[in-house]
Amino acid sequence: MKKTTLVIMAAGIGSRFGGGIKQLEPLGPNGEVIMEYSIHDALEAGFNKVVFIIRREMEDYFKEVVGNKIAGICEVAYAYQDMEALPAGFKNHPDRKKPWGTGQAVLSCKGIVNEPFMVINADDYYGKEAFKSIHEFLVEEKAPVKKYDFCMAGFILKNTLSDNGGVTRGVCEANDDGYLTKVVETSNIVKYGNSAGIANDDGTVDQLDENCYVSMNMWGLTPDFIDVLENGFVKFLSNPNLNQLKGEYLLPTVIGELVENGEASVKILETNDKWFGVTYGEDKYAVKDAFLKLQADGVYPKTLY
């Protein structure tokens, strides 16, 4: 069986969540955290290794809540996202508080992930469909379209919004063959009447197509992409216009640049599953109800593992 890895980004700091470690918030009927459902769906789809990207200071608690449980089921490894892990010659601004974003997170997997992999957020529920589609893409024997031959789960924007405030999504454009042509990391997307839009500081809203594709940081990638991240991080940090306090090295930006430069192809695998997650503290009540319903409907067993 071909080795394929699920990489879970769980090192983020949830500034809008309002206390606690949102990735480890018990939300399932038996106290499960969201990523346990993602792991269940990934293993069911055929993935056979899990890599957790975490902060070192949360390691013991993380293993107690999730890691030790999963280690009894499949191969497990850890990568550590450290704000201080910068290329030679670079230093953090003394007032910076947060790591450098999703690109730095996946870069921390260098030497740990050497096989095709899927990357996801720990605090997002994606549904089963995309795990199956991405795994099939990663194991399919085919001639690559470009040097870097990737895929992504294409969620429909209206299925990814929060009732409790604005969210950040990678708004995508595609060609007629279903390949990504552009992705724009877009902040503060809100429900706007029966559609969606970008909320501006002046109270206006720029309307978006509610049926457009968005990236939820669910990518199917090859291990050589990690080398791309390593080289790109130096270039990113060298930008004289970089916001040293809040700037982030983001996966959609890196992949979007590869696509626009003609180096990468990204097949959009449409999924109609409805996302839910815990961007805001108030989101957790709806998430708990959603997991209860999924269990009642037989989508998940009463005990996941």
In this model, does residue 167 exceed pLDDT 70? Answer: yes
Average pLDDT score, the chain: 92
Structure-block tokens of residue 59: 């390691």
Amino acid 66: pLDDT: 95
Check residues 148 and 23 and name the one with the higher pLDDT: 148
Q: What percent of the chain has pLDDT over 70?
A: 97
Q: Is residue 31 part of a domain?
A: yes
Q: Which of 6-20, 30-44, 156-170 has the lowest mean pLDDT?
A: 6-20
Q: Is residue 65 part of a domain?
A: yes
Amino acid 13: pLDDT: 56
State the residue range of the domain holding 287.
5-296
Instruction: Tell me how crowded residue 52 is: count the other CB atoms within 10 A of its CB.
Output: 25
In this model, does residue 16 exceed pLDDT 70? Answer: no
Amino acid 17: pLDDT: 35
Check residues 262 and 16 and name the one with the higher pLDDT: 262
Amino acid 218: pLDDT: 97
Check residues 185 and 175 and name the one with the higher pLDDT: 175
Measured distance CA(83)–CA(249) in Å, rounded = 12
The pLDDT tens digits for 101-126 are: 999 999 999 999 999 999 999 999 99
Check residues 228 and 280 and name the one with the higher pLDDT: 228
Amino acid 163: pLDDT: 86
Distances (CA, A) of 15 to 58, 93, 304: 16, 19, 29
Q: Which of 188, 140, 159 is nearest to 275 (CA)?
A: 159
Asked if 225 and 17 touch (Cβ cutoff 8 Å), the reply is no
Q: Is residue 302 part of a domain?
A: no
Q: Is residue 116 part of a domain?
A: yes
In this model, does residue 67 exceed pLDDT 80? Answer: yes
Q: Which of 276, 285, 277, 282 is nearest to 23 (CA)?
A: 277
Measured distance CA(274)–CA(146) in Å, rounded = 31
The sign of the torsion formed by the CA atoms of 25, 29, 35, 36 equals positive
CATH number for the domain that contains residue 269: 3.90.550.10
What's the whole-number mean pLDDT along residues 74-93? 96
Q: Is residue 170 part of a domain?
A: yes
Q: What is the pairing mode between strands 219-221 and 148-156?
A: antiparallel
Amino acid 15: pLDDT: 44
In this model, does residue 203 exceed pLDDT 70? Answer: yes
Amino acid 223: pLDDT: 96
pTM of structure: 0.93
What's the whole-number mean pLDDT along residues 90-109? 95
Number of structural domains, the chain?
1
Q: Is residue 303 part of a domain?
A: no
Amino acid 145: pLDDT: 86
Amino acid 20: pLDDT: 53
What's the whole-number mean pLDDT along residues 233-258? 95
Q: Is residue 151 part of a domain?
A: yes
Measured distance CA(184)–CA(186) in Å, rounded = 6
